Structure 1
Amino acid sequence: MEPIQIVAPGIWVQPWSETEVLGAVAWLWLQSPRHQQHTLAIFGQHLLPAIRRRQFALFSQGQQPIGYITWALFNQTAEQNYIKSNVSLLNQPEHWQCGGRMWFIDWFAPFGHSMVISRIMARRLFPTTIARALHHHGDTTGLRINTFKGAAVSAAELAYWQQQNPVSVPIISV
């Protein structure tokens, strides 16, 4: 099996091309029936803020993209707005980088590489980070908030962080 290459210019200094990243992510979107219905305007509105702020990681194996993630750094107000309506993030791109509350916005692995990407994130990209993500599965399970911790974060550190950083808006499940 070929090693996984990572483009993450917000984490490591490395050469990269906005055009190549956009092309790879567009190709990934075309692999998903849910995403391939979106217009180019939605595609750009959704991805360009993260790419231009270098708040993304693109994962490839050989020449094939296998997934990508994006993240935002919210203040409490932006976090509240995002939880209430994740569309609000798209309407206010400045919220992508306005505080210290890290949220994974996109976690996209259409070929089943989600666990591999999760391990890479925990060990290499964000080993000392705690972050959250909205988990969307529509009417099946409703909306919930997942917490991510890097491999170097202890259970005690996670518990303290959760106590100090409660979710600012409760989630009401479907």
Structure 2
Amino acid sequence: MQFEGIDIISPALFPHEHWNRAEVLGAITWLWLHTPPYSEAPLMELGRYVLPALDNGQFALFAEQGSILGYFSWAMLSPETEAQYLQSDSVLHTPANWQSGSRIWIVDWFAPYGDSLKMKTLTQRYLFSKQPKAYALYHRSGPGKARIVRFAGRRADEEAT
């Protein structure tokens, strides 16, 4: 699917769009290797976090004129799984947990070339536009600390007012 000149592959959101698993995995691996701290993690970690997202189609891969811009994945968590996730992300090593409920949690967000704002804008406008809330753990708030960040889709904000 294309929005504002950006190609977005997202099987869960656009199930009728064709995509190639090997090409997507290659693009995500490229981004992984260019995104600290992921680039320093063992490659087996990529399998633990990326393959469940691919299996469930719960990701968005952004490209512009053939150049990969970024990627994010999300899980749909139940309250019980969410509570476990807030203690340890190892709960996501079980693929079924990625679709255990209805609360959207952004799991990974890679934009190593400075396109994060563009991705966020497109996500709010088109991908999660009607979602009242999505959450993420923001890890840059300090060593060993993560804080919960809440996002809302554009149309959800407009409908609420």
Relative to the length of structure 1, the TM-score reads 0.83
- Displacement after TM superposition at 1:156 (Å): 7.8
- Displacement after TM superposition at 1:28 (Å): 0.6
Amino acid at match of 2:129: P
CA contact (8 A) 2:7 2:63 kept: yes
Amino acid at match of 2:107: I
1:55 aligns with 2:58: yes
Query: How far apart, CA to CA, are the structure 1 residues paired with 2:145 and 2:45?
Result: 23
Counting matched residue pairs gives 156
- Displacement after TM superposition at 1:93 (Å): 1.9
Number of the residue aligned with 1:98: 100
What is the RMSD computed on CA atoms of the aligned residues?
A: 2.0
Amino acid at match of 2:33: L
1:76 aligns with 2:79: yes
1:30 aligns with 2:33: yes
Query: How far apart, CA to CA, are the structure 2 residues paired with 1:31 and 1:107?
Result: 12
Number of the residue aligned with 1:128: 130
Amino acid at match of 2:117: M
Relative to the length of structure 2, the TM-score reads 0.89
Partner-residue secondary structure (3-state), 1:44:
helix
Partner-residue secondary structure (3-state), 2:125:
helix
CA deviation map 1:28-52 (0-9, x unaligned): 1121242222233211111000111
Query: How far apart, CA to CA, are the structure 1 residues paired with 2:51 and 2:144?
Result: 29
Question: Quick one: which of 27, 37, 41 aligns to 2:44?
Answer: 41
CA deviation map 1:141-162 (0-9, x unaligned): 931111110011137849xxxx
Query: How far apart, CA to CA, are the structure 1 residues paired with 2:92 and 2:128?
Result: 22
Query: How far apart, CA to CA, are the structure 1 residues paired with 2:124 and 2:88?
Result: 27
Query: How far apart, CA to CA, are the structure 1 residues paired with 2:101 and 2:47?
Result: 23
Partner-residue secondary structure (3-state), 1:19:
helix
Partner-residue secondary structure (3-state), 1:152:
helix
The structure number with the bigger radius of gyration is: 1
Gaps of 5+ in 1: 159-174
Query: How far apart, CA to CA, are the structure 2 residues paired with 1:33 and 1:143?
Result: 16
* CA 95–119 in structure 1, closer or farther in 2 if over 3 Å, else same: same
